[in-house]
Amino acid sequence: MRPVELKKDIYWVGAVDFDIRNFHHYSRAPEGSTYNCYLVCDEKTVLFDTVDAHGYGEMVKHIAEICDPESIDYIVCNHLEPDHSGALPRLVKLCKPEKIFCSAMGLKSMTNLYDTEGWPIEVVKDGARLNIGRRNITFLETRMLHWPDSMVSYLEEDRVLISNDAFGQNIASSYRFADECDRSLLLSSMKRYYYNIVLPYSPQVLKTLKRVQDLGIAIDVIAPDHGLIFRTPEDVQFVISSYKEFAEQKPKLRAVIAYESMWNGTAKMASAVADGLEAEGVPYVLINLQQAHCSDVMAELADSGALILGSATRNNMPMVNMMACIAHVKGLRPQNLVGAAFGTYGWSGEAPKMMADALAEMKAEVVGEPLKCYFNPKAEDLAKCRTLGAEVARALKEKCQNAM
Ligand code: FEO
């Protein structure tokens, strides 16, 4: 891997993680990830963000191909989660920077995470400008996009937006630019990332996009801290319009059936619910939570307007993977869903109602009564499942129609 020049004297010098599959310990990353940071060589040499602690060596190797790492004057910390700041303490020790810039909330995180005694930290306010020679940098706070400390850095003369976590995707690759990547892989990675990380902050996304538009900020390059960089006008437009679409969460004519079965009865019910959807012409995806991860459910919800949950009842509640799935999905606050619940039981059968209640708490439009079936579903039970699937399909079609 080599450093890559985005624009004259602006370089990607990050680290690529081909191994990671468990991003932030809550979301699967089937394509690995990258920790991007950017070196700008001007009268001042400035590094924007660092990398995860284990990527320190790779980052310093990349910087050394451009300049002496000890010559770095400024470090900008747009966000302090350790995937962007883990390498900071060793780097500060190495280059003894003149200044380290962060937001007010960034200072709180930085001093909590690291021993910052003697560090030359300077807090920048929203809209603050910094001259580094031929270039001016504007810092824009993007609070709760996705942390309280988050900000982005805009290189005015180069029209480069270093966007930190915003516009990221988890892709490890030998190439650095979105236009070098297969389009469907890029889009599916963007959706997985957005729906598992950024989704609850969709109102802030829409607000930030409007603010950027109102400020008339011209952008040639969007350089996120994870994944590929958007450098063509088409790709810049593509990622911005994709984010707007993700944030709006308009209903989509497709259903996710996520289920967890114990003795295969709930799996049979799931299949029959799918048949009901199919009969009404609504596409679906079946997700067996004993094989898939709850973050896969969110990735699929990016293209779906219905979430149907199925679980056997075990010890008076849904099974554990379903419980984890509910916690994950609920925290991400998906909007505009149609929902339904079903499951088998051997003793009492509380799970379907509990799942329906969870969907209602997510403000989903819950269709039908929670459907429970004793142990091994018979023909009449499966007929009820098909009816439930068809009811969800009709409700979803209406919702989509109304949203047009
Ligand atoms: Fe990429 Fe919020 O960490």
Say if ligand 1 is within 6 A of residue 48 CB.
no
22-43: b (≥16 Cβ within 10 Å) or e: ebeeebbbebbbbbbbbbbbbe
Q: Of 199, 198, 191, whose CA–CA distance to 242 is shortest?
A: 191
CA of 83 to the centre of ligand 1 (A): 6
Within 13 A of 285's CA, how many CA atoms are on the CB side? 17
**Contact call for residues 305 and 255 (beta carbons, < 8 A):** yes
Q: What is the pLDDT of residue 404?
A: 87
From the CB of 81, is ligand 1 less than 6 Å away? yes
How far apart CA 140 and CA 204 sit, in angstroms, is 13
Mean pLDDT by 10 residues, the chain (404 residues): 96 97 94 98 98 98 98 98 98 98 98 98 97 97 92 97 96 98 97 97 93 91 98 97 96 98 98 98 98 98 98 98 98 98 96 98 97 97 98 98 92
Contact 310, 340 (CB under 8 A): no
Q: What backbone torsions phi and psi does residue 254 show, to the nearest 5 degrees?
A: -165, 150
Of the residues 31, 52, 58, 83, only one is catalytic, namely 83
Q: Does ligand 1 lie within 6 Å of residue 49's CB atom?
A: no
Joined together, the tokens standing for residue 152 give 């982005």
pLDDT given at position 212: 87
Q: Which of the following is catalytic: 35, 74, 154, 193?
A: 193
DSSP 193-256: HIIIIIGGGHHHHHHHHHHHHHHT---SEEEESSS-BB-SHHHHHHHHHHHHHHHH----S-EE
H or E element at residue 130: strand 129-131
- For atom 2 of ligand 1, the residue with the nearest CA is 81
β-partners of residue 15 are 35
Ligand 1 mean position to 312 CA, how many Å?
Answer: 36
How far is the centre of ligand 1, averaged over its atoms, from the C-alpha of 82 (Å)?
Answer: 8
Nearest alpha carbon to residue 161 among 215, 221, 227? 221
| DSSP 8-state assignment for residue 177 | B
Q: How far is the CA of 163 from the centre of ligand 1 (A)?
A: 11
Confidence (pLDDT) at 342: 98
Residue nearest to atom 1 of ligand 1 (CA): 165
Residue type, 219: I
Query: Beta strands 99-102 and 121-123: pairing type?
Result: parallel
Residue 18 burial by Cβ neighbours in a 10 Å radius (0-12, 13-18, 19+): exposed
Rounded to the nearest angstrom, the distance between the alpha carbon of 378 and the centre of ligand 1 is: 48
Q: Which residue has its alpha carbon closest to ligand 1 atom 3?
A: 81
* Selected catalytic residue, list 62, 84, 226, 293: 226
* The model's pTM: 0.96
pLDDT at 59 (0 to 100): 98
